[in-house]
Structure 1
Amino acid sequence: MKVEFWLLDASYVVVRGAPEVRLWGMDREGRRVVMLERSFRSYSYVLPREGEEERVAERIARYSNKYNILGVEIVDRKYFGRPVKAIKVTLASPRTVPQFREAVAKVEGVREVLEADIRFYMRYMIDNDVYPCGWHEVEVEEVRNESGWRVDAVYLAKSRPQYLGSSSPPELKVYAFDIECYNPFGEPNPERDPVIVIAAARSDGEVKLFTADGKDDRGTIRKFAEDLVSFDPDVIVGYNSNRFDWPYLLARCRVHRIRLDVSRGGGEPAPSVYGHYSVVGRANVDLYDFAEEIGEVKVKTLENVADYLGVKKKNERVLIEGARIHEYWDDPAKRPLLLQYARDDVESTYGLGEKFLPFAIQLSNIVGLTLDQVGAASVGYRVEWHLMRAAYRFGELIPNRVERPYEKYRGAIVLRPRPGVHENIAVLDFSSMYPNLMIKYNISPDTYVPPNEPVSPDEVYVAPEVGHRFRKKPPGFYKRVLERLLEARRRIREQMKGLDPESPEYRVLDERQKALKVIANATYGYCGWVGARWYKREVAEATTAWGRRVITETIRIARDLGLTVIYGDTDSIFVKYEPEKVEKLIKIINEQLDLDIKVDKIYKKVF
């Protein structure tokens, strides 16, 4: 039979020596399900020296018994845009990959071992076009839930999933929680200080407070875990929960010798990649990760962010200084205030979840990281996973991550602001300037021409100031990726014009176009991140050089038109608003620089 399901979480285990991918999600009827994939196998690529493919393949085959190699195959791929012969080596178990990589790297004739560091379930999702927070259809056979997982059905996949898209997600059950700890000696210590209140807010409207019996929190933690499991949420949200709440609760469980078994797959929350805690079968989302990206809020406390976003105003809630929590617990007259404080905290957390989750869901779907990972991952990792998916589609081998020292390069231009109070000021903003420059000049690691490589001047673009050269043809890796992102965003924005802004479909599309913009704009910064697989300082340096030229030229044209320029920075300029002259400036920029610029804001007063 065929089942349509929405993917929430992914994991894998090795069962009797063979890997099993587990895809956790919901079907169209709202049932919680897990899909088991047992036919996929791990693999990596070996890059041999040119002309030695057959000999290297034979040498690798000698390791078949030691590492349980299932296949050795010479394939055609591209590496930084150049055609190469690579050896694809398939292994029976992902557990042997690290040892295999280390051994094969020493084989005579081997240049590099690639794609041996990709997590197995991510490899499966990339190769099979499976996207978190998206709908898929798959041929399945229902099997018994022998492990007692907290799901309505267990399926064994009989076909490759077909991706159906990222239309509206199912109705998700959300559980927000927040803990308060006894702290008479300052910073609470989980080896000593109990959790005195655990507050929970659920998407069914219930708010619950689990309180300690004096200083005994054993029952408190148990009741919290029972409530969470009973409600069976798809998404658990907290604020700074990966850094404080989860590790503190787990430490208290160790003190009491109890287990915090709250996952759908059985087991406790466990520290995972990017510093987040994985709750198998659910999405554990730390909302602080998204609050960090709000530049307007300098001190990102829960109450500050909730106040800024209009979730709960500070003057409408109880505020208690953190260091005095224990005083309010010890004083019977003050304890009701502490309980209200805990309630306000968890209601704020739930409200922030309503604000952040729609965007997080779309971001997860676009970059391919599960919902619990996408917030915890840095912007660089988000971009990279998107690029890795694109590389697979394009037949590009994924480079290894290499440790390298930080290399400085000159950034964007910043014009010194004109002092004083200025009235009637227009902000002119370039639409996705850096992505468009990278597309226009084909700026990419695979199109970069080293200084000592001879090439005809009419075959390359030359960056101003820095002189870096990039081939005009064929389209580079970054250009192809960015064109797809910007075109997808353009189509969505066009689609939104025909929808009611209050409709659910409009809101989903709006969050998606925002996520597409974020990833497109972050790609430039990724180029200069020393941790990037596709790192190339010259790419970042050339992009900012072209950006500086665009801003400098825009300022010159504006002044030639008689406009007063107040300020300029990165991809925008501030000018005295004179409508006719501004319209003329926009037209000239569009024609001469082939870039889109528009009036973003008009301020009555700037100082």
Structure 2
Amino acid sequence: MAEEIEFVLLDSSYEIVGKEPVIVLWGVTLSGERVVLLDRRFRPYFYALIKRGFEENATAIAAAIRRLSKGSSPIIALEVVDKKYFGRPRKAVRVTTVIPESVREYREAVKKIDGVEDALEADIRFAMRYIIDKRLYPFMVYRVPVEDVGKNPGYRVDKVFYVTGEPQRITDITRIDMPDLRLTAFDIEVYNKSGSPNPNRDPVIIIAVKSSNGDEKLFEADGYDDRKAIRGFVDYIKSFDPDIIVGYNSNGFDWPYLMQRARKVGVRLDVTRRVGAEPTTSVYGHVSVPGRLNVDLYHYAEEIHEVKVKTLEEVAEYLGVMKKSERVLIHWWEIPRYWEDPEKRPILEQYARDDVRATYGLAEKMLPFAIQLSTVTGIPLDQVGVMGVGFRLEWYLIRAAYEMNELVPNRVERHEESYRGAVVLKPLKGVHENVVVLDFSSMYPNIMIKYNVGPDTIVDDPAECEKYGGCYVAPEVGHRFRKQPPGFFKTVLENLLRLRKQVREKMKELPPESPEYRLYDERQRALKVLANASYGYMGWSGARWYCKRCAEAVTAWGRSLILSAIEYARKLGLKVIYGDTDSLFVTYDPEKVKKLIDYVVNVLGFEIKIDKIYRRVFFTEAKKRYVGLLEDGRIDIVGFEAVRGDWCELAKEVQSTVAEIVLKTGKIDEAIRYIRDVIKKLREGEIPVEKLIIWKTLSKRLEEYEHEAPHVVAARRMKEAGYDVSPGDKIGYVIVRGAGRISSRAYPYFMVKPSDIDVDYYIDHQIVPAVLRILSYFGVTEKQLKAASTGHRTLFDFMRGKRG
């Protein structure tokens, strides 16, 4: 019976039923019913771009394409259409067939036809093609004409419908309507006594889950028989029926391990909403769980640059989810010992609970942004986190191209090309009081908008500028861009920034502590991330809309803009301490800073705002390296070892503390005493080995390394002991006592005893160099740090001495 329903779209996929494709839309009604909408009417298509000069032959070209038709997936429609390609009017033939997989085959054949320049949009996946064409976005509400087909035994949902008409969106970017979604976090523990876990050998001993209804459960193996644990997990998922399943590194470990282990022990991993389907590794490397959104939170943790070692416990502590000191921590190689010992097993069970609680807590922090990113880009939630920012922006651009009747370019393999980047001034070395950081708001997107930059607006012949109302000419590089009409990127970016402004206006109507405010805040952040990615996207060799000249022009205008601001700041009498890309560090004189802001806004035509104010900031002579004391008392460290990954935790901790002592108290001698105390504790074995681990990523296979770097030697030792190591793995090693080069004394941290540690290495090559980055400027030497006493010098004495 025909009716209309209102539902929130969660995901889309397709199936072949008989010999026809059926789009499957998974959703939730606002009243909380889980539904599937099946659309049998949509068919795959692509475009044959007609060469210039062959437009009159379009009908003949279409006839030649028709002769390619095959019975397995016939060409059912051909239409000559007027489109735009890089902004220029072009003729194309829209080629429609039946089976999505046959599009690739037809594409190659069509390209060989005389008069065809290229085949376009053949690589847009069928389910994405549908939601683009129907203007569907995840987590938006739609009203759809449907026919209720009652229960369908093939789907674990409340109702199944056939789509009979076009969906109408009833929410927009400034409105958030969200039904309560069911969420489950899970985490597995594996018994691995012989090196790296192997699903063909090692059982899954615990599967921990935590859900939005308050459930916390452990599904445990019966000794070393894990069928009970896996079945318990499967039954739970089917019973609770979550919309979203989250894990931490679950795409990389938990799901692949469970999938292979379940096959090995003969248990069907029947956790999907599609009866008969199982999880599969899909595009972009994510694991697809039909009907549920599988989200690996590790992909969002990778974007937190402040945390260098992305373990669950480190990220959970950094985000305030769970302190390491308040949870059970067990090294993975110790798990078998805890499982085998009845007295220790409860500790392992608590460890599993803490892991899944931390995972659930991270989901509460990260999912709001992930969901808004999915909504804004139109990419399903289970895929958007796995994609790089370039791909996220590209899907947004593909949707914009559809709206603007633009053909989407194919992805082309090309070599990376470099071009001159932004202005980075050499900083004024030393300690500076009362410094303001001015930040150009969305500098590069605004340059692209102001100067109409894009691959479709480049003008090669200066004589042509007149017909476009003139051209903008980029300084230094001389690339020209037409003034009129607005190009593809300008239109897209204006729309993005307008939407962000609308969302931020909406936020002003809400109390900042409300859940709605937070969702809108995440939405405006998602819009900002996309807009800011646009300039880098054009210079990315993998981009469909690649344009090196555009990226060069944008950085040239950026350099001109910041140099103009610096010149005016100096005219005002402001001391310019540092400048980097789109920010300026100047002495904080409120009246003069206001004049500088007015000049940038009213004369240069760009937005600039106060980003930070430092009570005190210290610069070395190096660019992109400074330590500042913010007005609220926080220490801001940029570019020093304290935030780099190839130093141990102790070196980072000591350097950060020294920076805090120096900038807050000015007492150099107090910093020296603190360092000596740390050295003393290290010599007396009071520093945990965990703080001495150095983490380094393997960038290639072990056999490809020519030089024996410490992390490579440690990785070889892991491999000899039976552990799997491969490119991308983070290797944690420590340096032990003994003769020979440092590399030869690098061992995996879990293979050594505390008494093996080479304390002198950590003093001479980690702690002392890290703190001398700051203290050497104040005349402190390595000898002083290791000596027994120090004079009472302060930062302020030092500064007076410099001035004198």
Q: Under TM normalisation by the shorter chain, which class is it?
A: over 0.9
Which one of 183, 188, 192 corresponds to residue 179 of structure 1?
188
Question: 1:215 deviation in Å?
Answer: 1.6
For the pair 1:90 / 2:90, whether they are aligned, the reply is no
For the pair 1:126 / 2:126, whether they are aligned, the reply is no
Which residue of structure 2 lines up, in the alignment, with residue 231 of structure 1? 240
Distance in 1, matches of 2:281 and 2:15, equals 16
For the pair 1:532 / 2:543, whether they are aligned, the reply is yes
Alignment of 1:198-217 (within 5 A): 198-217=207-226
Aligned residue identity for 1:47: L
Does structure 2 retain, via aligned residues, the 8 Å contact 1:182–1:326? yes
More strand by share: 1
Aligned residue identity for 1:558: A
Which residue of structure 2 lines up, in the alignment, with residue 62 of structure 1? 67
Question: 1:490 deviation in Å?
Answer: 0.8
Does structure 2 retain, via aligned residues, the 8 Å contact 1:199–1:209? yes
Does structure 2 retain, via aligned residues, the 8 Å contact 1:429–1:599? yes
Secondary structure at the residue paired with 1:23? strand
Which residue of structure 2 lines up, in the alignment, with residue 363 of structure 1? 373
Aligned residue identity for 1:172: L
Question: 1:412 deviation in Å?
Answer: 1.9
Which residue of structure 2 lines up, in the alignment, with residue 15 of structure 1? 17
Deviations 1:126-170 (A, max 9, x none): 111111111111011111333331100001111111112251321
Distance in 1, matches of 2:59 and 2:154, equals 49
Deviations 1:516-544 (A, max 9, x none): 10111111111111111111111111111
Which region of structure 1 is more displaced relative to structure 2, 498-507 or 471-480? 498-507
Which residue of structure 2 lines up, in the alignment, with residue 117 of structure 1? 123
Deviations 1:47-95 (A, max 9, x none): 1223331221121122235541111111111000000111111112213
For the pair 1:591 / 2:602, whether they are aligned, the reply is yes
Unmatched segments (≥5 aa) in structure 2? 619-804
Does structure 1 retain, via aligned residues, the 8 Å contact 2:152–2:160? no
For the pair 1:163 / 2:169, whether they are aligned, the reply is yes
Does structure 1 retain, via aligned residues, the 8 Å contact 2:23–2:39? yes
Secondary structure at the residue paired with 1:294? coil
Change (3 A) 1:414 1:334: farther
For the pair 1:304 / 2:304, whether they are aligned, the reply is no
Question: 1:479 deviation in Å?
Answer: 0.2
For the pair 1:508 / 2:519, whether they are aligned, the reply is yes
Which residue of structure 2 lines up, in the alignment, with residue 337 of structure 1? 347
Alignment of 1:11-410 (within 5 A): 11-49=13-51, 50=53, 51=55, 52-66=57-71, 67-165=73-171, 167-266=176-275, 267-410=277-420
RMSD: 1.5
Which region of structure 1 is more displaced relative to structure 2, 429-438 or 179-188? 179-188
Question: 1:297 deviation in Å?
Answer: 1.1
Distance in 2, matches of 1:384 and 1:22, equals 24
Does structure 2 retain, via aligned residues, the 8 Å contact 1:486–1:520? yes
Which region of structure 1 is more displaced relative to structure 2, 75-84 or 528-537? 528-537
Question: 1:554 deviation in Å?
Answer: 1.6
Q: What count of residue pairs does the alignment treat as equivalent?
A: 607
Question: 1:328 deviation in Å?
Answer: 2.0
Aligned residue identity for 1:253: A
Aligned residue identity for 2:610: V
Does structure 1 retain, via aligned residues, the 8 Å contact 2:107–2:122? yes
Secondary structure at the residue paired with 1:598? strand
Distance in 2, matches of 1:213 and 1:521, equals 52
Deviations 1:458-497 (A, max 9, x none): 7211111222111111101000000000011111111211
Does structure 1 retain, via aligned residues, the 8 Å contact 2:68–2:109? no
Aligned residue identity for 1:178: D
Deviations 1:349-392 (A, max 9, x none): 00110111111111101111001111111111100000000000
Secondary structure at the residue paired with 2:77? strand
Does structure 2 retain, via aligned residues, the 8 Å contact 1:168–1:505? no
Does structure 2 retain, via aligned residues, the 8 Å contact 1:168–1:508? no
TM-score, structure 2 normalization: 0.74
Aligned residue identity for 2:23: V
Secondary structure at the residue paired with 1:421? strand
Deviations 1:209-235 (A, max 9, x none): 112222221111111111111110000
Does structure 1 retain, via aligned residues, the 8 Å contact 2:558–2:582? yes
Distance in 1, matches of 2:426 and 2:195, equals 45
Which region of structure 1 is more displaced relative to structure 2, 461-470 or 515-524? 461-470
Question: 1:342 deviation in Å?
Answer: 1.1
Deviations 1:307-327 (A, max 9, x none): 111111111111122222222
Does structure 2 retain, via aligned residues, the 8 Å contact 1:133–1:371? no
Which residue of structure 1 lines up, in the alignment, with residue 507 of structure 2? 496
Secondary structure at the residue paired with 2:268? coil
Distance in 2, matches of 1:453 and 1:249, equals 65
Secondary structure at the residue paired with 1:57? helix
Deviations 1:419-467 (A, max 9, x none): 2222222111111111100000000110012369854597211111222
Distance in 2, matches of 1:386 and 1:503, equals 29
Secondary structure at the residue paired with 1:246? helix
Question: 1:115 deviation in Å?
Answer: 0.8
Secondary structure at the residue paired with 1:248? helix
Distance in 1, matches of 2:611 and 2:589, equals 14
Aligned residue identity for 2:12: A
Does structure 2 retain, via aligned residues, the 8 Å contact 1:177–1:199? yes
Does structure 2 retain, via aligned residues, the 8 Å contact 1:432–1:521? yes
Deviations 1:382-410 (A, max 9, x none): 00000000000000001111111111112
Larger of the two Rg values belongs to structure: 2
Secondary structure at the residue paired with 1:438? helix
Distance in 1, matches of 2:416 and 2:151, equals 51
For the pair 1:417 / 2:419, whether they are aligned, the reply is no
For the pair 1:431 / 2:436, whether they are aligned, the reply is no
Distance in 2, matches of 1:172 and 1:442, equals 42
Distance in 2, matches of 1:286 and 1:418, equals 43
Looking at both structures, which has the greater relative contact order when contacts are Cα pairs under 8 Å and sequence separation is at least 6? 1
Does structure 1 retain, via aligned residues, the 8 Å contact 2:238–2:271? yes
Unmatched segments (≥5 aa) in structure 1? none
Does structure 2 retain, via aligned residues, the 8 Å contact 1:131–1:163? no
Aligned residue identity for 1:551: I
Distance in 2, matches of 1:593 and 1:448, equals 23
Change (3 A) 1:306 1:364: same
Does structure 1 retain, via aligned residues, the 8 Å contact 2:81–2:92? yes
Distance in 2, matches of 1:437 and 1:468, equals 14
Does structure 2 retain, via aligned residues, the 8 Å contact 1:19–1:41? yes
Deviations 1:255-302 (A, max 9, x none): 112210101012211111111000111100000111111111111111
Secondary structure at the residue paired with 2:544? coil
Which residue of structure 1 lines up, in the alignment, with residue 563 of structure 2? 552
Secondary structure at the residue paired with 2:219? strand
Does structure 1 retain, via aligned residues, the 8 Å contact 2:230–2:267? no
Does structure 2 retain, via aligned residues, the 8 Å contact 1:485–1:516? yes
Aligned residue identity for 1:460: C
Aligned residue identity for 1:62: R
Aligned residue identity for 2:481: F
Alignment of 1:439-450 (within 5 A): 439-450=449-460
Aligned residue identity for 1:323: W
Secondary structure at the residue paired with 2:192? coil
